[in-house]
Structure 1
Amino acid sequence: MNQGKYYYPLEDYVKLKHPSWCINASIYEVNIRQYTKEGTFEAFSEHLPRLKKLGVKILWLMPVHPIGQLHRKGELGSPYAITDHMKINPELGTDQDFKQLIDDIHSLDMYVIIDWVANHSAWDNALTQTHPHWYKKTDDGTFRSTTWFDWDDIIEFDFQQSELRHYMINAMRHYLQTYQIDGFRCDVAGFVPLNFWHQARAELDPEHKFFWLAEWEERDLHQSAFNMSYAWQLNDLLEDIAQQKRHAENLCGYIAKHNNAFPDNAMRMNFLDNHDKNAWDGSVQQRFGEAEETLLAMTLLMDGMPLLYSGQEVASSQSLAFFDKDPIQWPDDIEQHPRHLWLQALIRLKSQNPALQNGRFGGVMNEIKHDQRDKVIAFYRQNKRHCVVFIANLTPQPIRVKLQQPLNHLPPLSLFISSDNSNVILDEDLEFQGWGYAVFAS
């Protein structure tokens, strides 16, 4: 191709490489405490074959470490208030139980990352006695909780202390080497200095074999530290759309910024639910109402890796307690639940159609122009001869939409799934019921 006299090649912003196994992956957050009435690694492991059939590839385990007693909230406390980063919480099982769970996950050709809480610890972490200088202090010299939040059951580390950095990196190394985990989900990653994450990644993962997820939303995290970050803004936007506070036009603006300002090889995690949203803001049904299925379908098909939270595969209406025991109420036949079957089909499409791959490996979200911009979202993603089209009514009222551009440049497409299981034809004129949608695929 003639690139012209003034062609200026752009340098890739993202310097790290992604593990090959994450390119077509979906991720699933496991709340071990609430997953079963036992709340143990062993009891959860019985669900692994089902999760394999569901199609999720990466399992993210919420913190597996012992929980503090001092200033504990509720009966069981927050799993993010840790007394020892080097130990396994005996309430969940033994060291061997944890190792067996990791082995069982790997035997199913699945991968596992664990929650890593670097920013803070419980008040009764032994480090408060052996290394009190590793912690931030208030003006009167006492240990400091994270300011402006109600996180008074934890106290913050001071990452200006080089010995703390070495301790934290060695603790992370322990789980990579002893248990053979595949990476980390790093809690409130933006509260920890970015140069620590660069240091940890360089020391622990120089060959980029592991997967690193940041609970944060900043492009700088992607250059050399993290494979994926949270799409928090998208989640807030979709919740507002479900409640009719914002509209499809706002979503167009989000996608425009995503396509043009976010690095093309940086992955965003798309979600409707996670442990924070579920515990503090209510269940997905409470937050999204009748729009939930439509918006969940979109998170599975748009650019980014979709996240499912424990119970979401059966459309659970529970808002799980965070500090107390509150087991998920599973149906008798989980695998035959309509939502489980629906997700299984869409996750299979996600994993098998190259247009939906993660990072720069998949197709960008291309707008399909139409005459209902404030009410309808329509886009296609294409990777050579592979293509997926998503069109949805983002209002509760029935609507007729007229496409304003031909799609004959795309590969042949057929209906994959629709909201009412009707035989929607991809034509110039389309009709949808409230929150109706259709997915077409080549």
Structure 2
Amino acid sequence: MTNKFNELKNKVIYEIFLRNYSKSGTFNEVYCDLERIKKLGVDIIWFMPFYPIGKKNRKGNYGSPYSISKYDEISYEYGGIDQFKKIIKKSKELGMQVMIDIVFNHTSNDSYISKNHKDWFILNDDGDFFRKEPDWFDIADLNFKNSELWDYLINILKFWKDIGVEGFRCDVASLIPLNFWEKARSQVDPEKKLIWLAESMEPEYLRALRKEGYDVVSDTELYRVFDYTYDYDGYEKIHKYFKGEIELSGIVEYIKTQQTIYPRESLKMRFLENHDKPRIASLISSKQRLKNWTTFYMTLPGSSLIYAGQEIKDDKYPDLFEKTSINWDDGDYEFLNFIKKIIVISKEIKAESKYFEINEVKKGVVEVKWTGEKYDYLIILNLEEKYGNIFLNNFYEGYDMINKEKIKLNKKYKLQKEPLIIKSIK
């Protein structure tokens, strides 16, 4: 296995939307919270866009952070570049890396470059700005047929790298030509030391765009450049599951499929929620069931994403266009301590193990196995709060990693509400 794969395979990413992170919504609150974030088990802090937001055709009162008017500035309400540098410095001291959002598919309608380089944009027959997604009326799509645009955007990446940023989360990366990304990484990160995360597309959306004639890039192609892709193909199954359109078996079988359709050392960023999707606590009201789902997704191959507030069971729908601050004072801190514990466990499992296996052993109950050179790990997840017994292939004796005690399991196991993780010596 490559060093980069081993370095990234068990990382935890923490997503921050500055506007809604706190009541004041500034860098200062995040700076003061860095020790808590580190203690949670975070390795990479991902800042959603903090750039100035366009005013023309703005959505909502505050506007989308993805409608950017200038790529090399920080919006005044968040704080200055010096405050951001302090966060980078302190994060490094704590052993965390800072990743920022890069939004190169489009800018706001009144961006700096839209006023000075209109020829860098896709225009319709009337000479007006065009967008692939009509509902995104607050943005204008860039035209990657222009080589000057490439140079400009690559210099933007170099600008943030020079400030100390160690990773780029690339918005709707599938909509941008792959050869641009190849050139960008070769010039900005030739030694491949930075973290590159592609927001890839949900398969249904990708198919729809291709049907419209757009040359969009698949996850498999993106791995030629990127370290991670979004697990949107997996999330598509979760979305259908919670809508009642498929059974749990549909998720399990697709996870098995992922093990064969992607390159051997490819990595997914696994998530139950993000800024574009509902809070998982709004979909799962039972804490025991939520613990099982959280353990499930944190122990799948790849990195795990926590969207700030998820760790305290925030259930408010993320609003990109208004201010809806996380209520940290009213959070579920017992759940936070549970997530801390699962993060530690999941990191060990992925670091120690080489082979992953998953099966639905009873309707609503999933068995995950990780196999390593020294240890084996058995994870039993009661995802639908079922009762009764399941039958295991073997007798298990080992260490209950959640409750921190020795345990013995017969082949007949009585289901519990809480997840179970057993570590056994080979």
**TM-score normalised by length of structure 2:** 0.89
The aligned counterpart of 1:153 is 138
Aligned-residue offset at 1:29: 0.4
**In terms of mean alpha carbon deviation, does 394-403 or 134-143 score higher?**
394-403
- Name the amino acid aligned to 2:376: C
Q: Which of residues 299, 319, 338 in structure 2 aligns to 1:342?
A: 338
The aligned counterpart of 2:280 is 284
Q: Is the partner of 2:77 in helix, strand or coil? A: coil
Q: Which of residues 31, 37, 42 in structure 1 aligns to 2:23?
A: 37
- Name the amino acid aligned to 1:102: I
The Cα offsets for residues 129-178 of structure 1, whole Å up to 9 and x where unpaired, read as 2111100011222111233x41100000001110001000000100001x
Percent of residue pairs identical: 29
The Cα offsets for residues 245-270 of structure 1, whole Å up to 9 and x where unpaired, read as 42332233112212222212111011
The aligned counterpart of 2:254 is 254
Q: Which of residues 68, 74, 94 in structure 2 aligns to 1:82?
A: 68
Matched, 1:383 2:368: no
The aligned counterpart of 1:182 is 166
CA distance in 2, matches of 1:243, 1:422: 38
Q: Which of residues 292, 295, 303 in structure 2 aligns to 1:294?
A: 292
Going from structure 1 to structure 2, the CA distance change for 1:422 and 1:198 (only over 3 Å counts) comes to same
Contact 1:19 1:211 in 2 (8 A): no
Map 1:358-369 to 2 at 5 A: 362-367=353-358
The aligned counterpart of 1:326 is 324
Going from structure 1 to structure 2, the CA distance change for 1:424 and 1:140 (only over 3 Å counts) comes to farther
Q: Is the partner of 2:283 in helix, strand or coil? A: helix
Q: Is the partner of 2:410 in helix, strand or coil? A: coil
The aligned counterpart of 2:210 is none
Q: Which of residues 403, 406, 419 in structure 1 aligns to 2:394?
A: 406
> What is the number of equivalent residue pairs in this alignment?
406
CA distance in 1, matches of 2:242, 2:293: 8
- Name the amino acid aligned to 1:209: K
Name stretches of at least 5 consecutive residues in structure 1 with no aligned partner. Answer: 1-11
Contact 1:146 1:154 in 2 (8 A): no
CA distance in 1, matches of 2:131, 2:419: 46
Matched, 1:437 2:419: yes
Going from structure 1 to structure 2, the CA distance change for 1:241 and 1:24 (only over 3 Å counts) comes to same
- Name the amino acid aligned to 1:299: Y
The aligned counterpart of 2:191 is 207
The Cα offsets for residues 313-370 of structure 1, whole Å up to 9 and x where unpaired, read as 11112223221111110127x7x8111111111111123x2x413xxx8433224684
The aligned counterpart of 1:164 is 149
CA RMSD, aligned part only? 2.4
Going from structure 1 to structure 2, the CA distance change for 1:387 and 1:422 (only over 3 Å counts) comes to closer
Contact 1:62 1:115 in 2 (8 A): yes
Contact 1:201 1:225 in 2 (8 A): yes
Going from structure 1 to structure 2, the CA distance change for 1:297 and 1:87 (only over 3 Å counts) comes to same
CA distance in 2, matches of 1:287, 1:181: 34
CA distance in 2, matches of 1:286, 1:140: 44
**TM-score normalised by length of structure 1:** 0.86
Aligned-residue offset at 1:45: 1.0
Going from structure 1 to structure 2, the CA distance change for 1:426 and 1:241 (only over 3 Å counts) comes to farther
Aligned-residue offset at 1:90: 1.0
The Cα offsets for residues 49-79 of structure 1, whole Å up to 9 and x where unpaired, read as 0011111110000002111011111111110
Aligned-residue offset at 1:17: 6.2
Q: Is the partner of 1:277 in helix, strand or coil? A: coil
CA distance in 2, matches of 1:222, 1:398: 43
The aligned counterpart of 2:213 is none
Going from structure 1 to structure 2, the CA distance change for 1:379 and 1:132 (only over 3 Å counts) comes to same
Aligned-residue offset at 1:19: 7.2
